[in-house]
């Protein structure tokens, strides 16, 4: 009778095990966590997160330190160091007339024969006569022009020169003599026409950069 009871209990237990109701001890994995593929270890190095992509799909560029030449301030191109504006930037009255015109630079007071100096360091890209700066009285009379391109892509122009001391592709430092001033057929005194142009070639007002005085 006991055997039948034991057999019956064993059969019932087997039946419930088949139904998943039996409890068994969980199997312990003897493999250490450090050996499991993909598991972190105490000495594991966590990589730095990758910077997010910009809308164009590329990583942001590392910041670049501007060069000393790019940060170089402008100095007065008149050798005396005194920049006095005779005619300002923008719309101006044509000398001796009632009409107005666009003026892409400033005219600075300078004595005939006085040295004209580079306002910033750079490379001479033009030195010679230019039909772009011809006399109003006689279009065949062209003025001498010097253009210096600077490290940041801006350029300066110097017009109404009597003689030239530089030529392309000469490198010049700020204050280097570019030539001497000529007399003017439009003003009762000699003037230096001075321009600053941005990287696109657009004229910008030199006055805030030179901080010159205005002629009374």
Q: Tens digits of per-residue pLDDT, 63-72?
A: 455 565 567 9
Domains recognised in the chain with CATH numbers: 84-214 (2.70.70.10)
Question: What is the structure's pLDDT at 12?
Answer: 46
Q: Is the dihedral of CA 210, 173, 149, 177 positive or negative?
A: positive
The fraction of the chain above a pLDDT of 70, given in percent, is 65
192 closest CA partner among 80, 128, 116: 116
pLDDT (tens digit, 9 = 90+) per residue, 155-208?
999 999 999 999 999 999 999 999 999 987 777 789 999 999 999 999 999 999
3-class SS of residue 155: strand
**Nearest 5 degrees, angle CA 129-CA 204-CA 111?**
50
107 closest CA partner among 126, 85, 124, 123: 85
Distance CA(189)–CA(200), nearest Å, equals: 33
**Residue 121 pLDDT more than 70?**
yes
DSSP, res 163:
E
């Amino acid at each position: 009778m006991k055997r039948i009871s034991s057999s019956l209990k064993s059969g019932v237990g087997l039946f419930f095990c088949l139904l998943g109701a039996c409890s068994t001890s969980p199997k312990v994995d003897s493999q250490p966590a450090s050996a499991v593929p993909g598991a972190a270890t105490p000495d594991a190095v966590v990589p730095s997160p990758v910077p997010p992509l910009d809308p164009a799909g590329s990583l942001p560029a590392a910041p670049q330190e501007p060069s000393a030449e790019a940060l170089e301030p402008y100095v007065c191109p008149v050798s005396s160091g005194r920049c006095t504006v005779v005619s300002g930037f923008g719309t101006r009255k044509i000398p001796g007339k009632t009409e107005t015109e666009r003026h892409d630079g400033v005219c600075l007071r300078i004595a005939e024969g006085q040295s004209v100096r580079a306002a910033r360091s750079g490379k001479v890209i033009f030195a010679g006569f230019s039909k772009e700066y011809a006399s109003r009285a006689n279009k065949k009379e062209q003025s001498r022009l010097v253009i210096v391109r600077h490290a940041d892509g801006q350029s300066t122009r110097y017009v109404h020169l009597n003689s030239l001391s530089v030529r392309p592709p000469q490198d010049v430092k700020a204050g280097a003599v570019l030539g001497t001033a000529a007399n003017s057929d439009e003003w009762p005194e000699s003037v230096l026409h001075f321009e600053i142009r941005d990287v696109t070639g657009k004229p910008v007002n030199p006055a805030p950069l030179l901080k010159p005085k205005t002629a009374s």
